[in-house]
Amino acid sequence: MCGIIACVGRPDETVDVLLSGLSSLEYRGYDSAGIAVANGALDIRKREGELDNLRAEIEDRPLTGSFGIGHTRWSTHGPPSDENAHPHTDAAGRVAVVHNGIIENYQALRDELEADGCEFVSDTDTEVVPHLMASYLDDGYDASESFRKAVSRLTGSYALAAIVAGEEAIFATRQDSPLVLGVGDDSYFLGSDVPAFLKFTRDVVYLENGQSVTLRPDGWEVTASDGSALDPTIHTVEWDAEQTGKSGYDHFMLKEIHEQPTALRQCLSGRLDPLAGEVVVEELSNLEPPERVQFVACGTSYHAALYGAHRFREAGVPAQAFLASEYSTAVPPIEDDELVIGVTQSGETADTLSALRAAQGHGAETLAVTNVVGSSAARECDHVMFIRSGPEIGVAATKTFSSQLVSLSLLVESLAPGTGTRTRALVESLRDLAGNVQSVLDDALPSVEELVDELADSEAYFFIGRGYNAPVALEGALKFKEITYEHAEGFPAGELKHGPLALITEDTPVFAVVTGDSVPAQKTLGNIKEVQARGAPVVAVTDGVLEVERFSDMVLEVPETEGPLGSLLANVQLQLVAYEMADYLDRPIDKPRNLAKSVTVE
């Protein structure tokens, strides 16, 4: 969850590079921030709160260094405070460490260190690392050996970077938390994610679990856990730093909502054969059609997985979607010819990685559906399909969800192709999809603003749908609660009468997603009448096929399209509703409280 940046080789601008990297990583955590730089001795600044607090501290107390490390925190052990902010040091200030992840055996290590006389000043699990390193330095080991020996004592997930007074080097490693090496012409970087250093280099090395890296002004070296040198591949990132900026939008989320037509075109590029009416996904060419499918995912990706499972079942392939955090602790039976698909935007979601590894341990073939080339999921799974939506910075996922739905539609057509007529209709609708999304973005704002003004004082908000629209209703509620902080719940529409109707009042508007004229859509009309009979205002998100507007108080329109894709267009409307309501309520849209973009802890 936290963000790490490190830099060596830019002695005149180390602090500026670290602050720039932290700014690019704030989506990973913004409870506190800090940096440590070295010019012989170590110099540290860290502050609770957002990055501007750290900048103000540095303006008041400037510091310089020829290399350094930085960190932006999402709190796990201990509340946000100056003391709990990273970097953490040993008592003498010889070692400074930044950390992403959770050290599971930290309490045992802390008890041991305190028994030896170490005094701790924070509540964090991270602080055991500099104390361990210092103890090995005291025993006569050099800085590199002290780092390696300290790491060998750790259990859990971590990306670590450390500097030592008097040692012109940065030592780092990873285990189940992401860490990327950036290779410049005469400078070198580390980051939890590529945007941390993208303005300086696009050449990267994706570190594997158990690997360590040492950065020095004259070069870098990657080693295995036993210290033996490795020769890793350097990759060139295709996107550039400009793509990770706001491009004139007020928020990353709004920018990424409006990037959806482009993202969808990227997702579909080269994967449709309009003349033949076929879907062609080259990276799946070596994957045999499965007899059964299990999805594992979390949050927004779980909603995409529900959609994908529905599509597989409709194509005649038994499929289930599981919450990854539950799956890994009780793996369901896996039969021969069963495919386990992990849906994860970042490819680093800890629960999803754990579930995929558990599935592999039970003999399953695995497929990652992810956005990030070089991510852990992409490297560890037997197969990978990239959603190709480009970098997403906003904590609330938008364009990646849309691209996941399209990718899963392509996946189903590749592995369980339907009749020529069905597939041709889908291909034609997919060709028109980006334009249809653009039309929603062009026309939606007046209706959404009117709706927000009318409903902003409501007590709670419900979202309902059936079939393909049920996952979109769940996602609409999640987006709404994430960034507005208002109470919102999503339900498959048929479940209202099994309990949630008890909460319906005149102050609980219901967003009903109704697209097409399928049996699920027709049944949703009955659910709309149920809530209207109890006084709740109804907002229909609809293509108008069933004339649901006749039974609604407000309407958000979407173009008519091929069945499953209408859900995606409805989702765009719900994204705009969440954004505009949050903006109306003056919420920190890109930095929703207690949340971070990439959830790298279980």
- Please list the active-site residues: 2, 597
DSSP E strand stretches across 425-581: 461-465, 488-492, 510-514, 538-542, 554-557
Read off the tokens for 487.
């109470």
Going by C-beta distance under 8 Å and a sequence separation of 6 or more, which residues neighbour residue 13?
none
The total of other beta-carbon atoms located within 10 Å of residue 114's CB is: 13
How far, in Å, are 25, 177, 297 from residue 2 at the CA level?
8, 10, 20
For 40, the token pair is: 């012989």
SS (HEC) of 329-395: CCCCCCCCCEEEEEEECCCCCHHHHHHHHHHHHCCCEEEEEECCCCCHHHHHCCEEEECCCCCCCCC
What are the residues whose beta carbons fall under 8 Å from the beta carbon of 112, sequence distance 6 or more?
none
Q: Phi and psi dihedrals of 323, rounded to 5?
A: -70, 125
HEC-encoded secondary structure of 547-564: CHHHHCCEEEECCCCCHH
Chain mean position to CA 412: 23
3-state secondary structure of 12: coil
Q: Which two three-digit tokens encode residue 233?
A: 């591949």
CA distances for 329 relative to 101, 322, 360, 456, angstroms? 19, 12, 14, 40
Q: How far apart are CA 162 and CA 172, in angstroms?
A: 6
158 membership: H or E segment, kind and range: strand 156-164
Chain-centre distance for alpha carbon 400: 9
CA distances from 337 to 259, 288, 340, 483 (A): 38, 9, 10, 41
- The percent of the chain in helix, strand and coil, each rounded to the nearest 5, is 40, 25, 40
Distance CA 48, CA 28 (A): 15
Element housing 439 (H / E): helix 420-443
Give the separation between CA 116 and CA 354, rounded to whole angstroms: 35
Type of residue numbered 155: T
Place of tokens 């550039």: 240
Q: Residue 70: phi, psi to the nearest 5?
A: -145, 165
- Report residue 391: phi and psi, to 5°: -65, 135
CB of 308 within 8 A of CB of 408?
yes
